[in-house]
Amino acid sequence: MNRVIFGDNQFFGVNHMSEEKARAQAVRFQSNAAVIEVLDDAYSEGITTFMCTTHERIAEVCDYFRANGERYPDFEFYPCMPYAHKYANAAAELGLLGAVRSFLPEGDRLGALMRGGMSMARKDIEGLADLLIDAEMKMFHGLRTPVIFLQNVATDFLLGLGFDEAFRMFATSVQSRFGAEPGFITMNAPLLLRRLTKLGMVNPIICANINKVGFRMCGGMDAYEGLFTEGRCRLIAMSVFASGALPPREALEYVCRYPGIESIVFGASSRRNIAQTKKLIDELSAR
């Protein structure tokens, strides 16, 4: 994985510390042209990986990158699924099978629906998982997606249920169907790693909040810092600035001191902030 990854929270008005900033960002990025402009800025600064939800608007961003692939020969997406609101809205309007059908690839829609219906009849959870992952990945057809993530809303729900087998199903599906590595986003990395290890997963990719003040880091700072040094998983740090509670240099000095943190994902709205953050990560990582 690349050391620096660009995230998408700012494009959809997500800010965990300020509703006012969140609203301002939502207004600014109402058009996809504004989103693509910032992605261009990130690419110009040498950031070639975009970690994004499967929000319906990302489909239009994907269309742009497919149409302009020659301009971005090394650009890659890290899809994060599911985008829960999308399914809830579609299911309310179309019903469960109708919602899934609306997200399926055109070429295999009938076959997929038959597989889905049979899976429901047999209560075949693994078959349904394949179908839903196919649906989520439809928008990324023809694009580079070397890592596919299970969103924390699903990861942590499954952790709470104790349904660890679902993690194996997800991993098997993305490996076999898309030739990608599975990744897991969580608010409790120490617990998740224990569960994945019991399933026999070796060195899994885990994305979690990692910051100096313990913001949204369930499991305790000591447990997290143990993960940083043990080398039993490939860590991606998110929320490194604790949603603005930490100055950039102080925040990144903490994260970059641990070689066990492989990648850092951040979001920004201006080329100036993108450039400054990228430069700081490069500088501190070289020490």
Question: CA-to-CA distance for 80 and 98, rounded, in angstroms?
Answer: 22
Task: Output the six-digit token pair for 200.
Answer: 């026999």
Please, what is the end-to-end C-alpha distance for the chain in angstroms?
20
Give the pLDDT score at 268.
93
Percentage of the chain beyond pLDDT 90 is 72
Task: Work out the percent of the chain whose per-residue pLDDT is above 70.
Answer: 81
Residue pair 126/138 in contact (Cβ under 8 Å)? The answer is no
Cα dihedral sign for 55, 61, 63, 66? negative
Asked if residue 284 has pLDDT above 90, the reply is yes
Strand segments, DSSP code E, in the chain are: 4-6, 49-53, 76-81, 147-150, 181-186, 205-209, 234-238, 261-266
Task: Please tell me the predicted confidence (pLDDT) of residue 120.
Answer: 43
Q: What value does the mean pLDDT take over residues 53-71?
A: 96
DSSP state of 54: -
Tell me the pLDDT tens digit for each residue of 186-232. 999 999 999 999 999 999 999 999 999 999 999 999 999 999 999 99
Band of the pLDDT at 122, cuts 50, 70, 90? Answer: very low
Output the average pLDDT for the chain: 88
pLDDT in tens, 225-238: 999 999 999 999 99
- The whole-number pLDDT of residue 273 equals 96
Mean pLDDT: which of 18-22, 73-77, 118-122 is highest? 73-77
Domains and CATH numbers, the chain: 4-285 (3.20.20.100)
pLDDT score for 132: 83
Residue the block writes with tokens 């110009």: 44
110 vs 176, higher pLDDT: 176
Statement: residue 154 has pLDDT above 60: yes
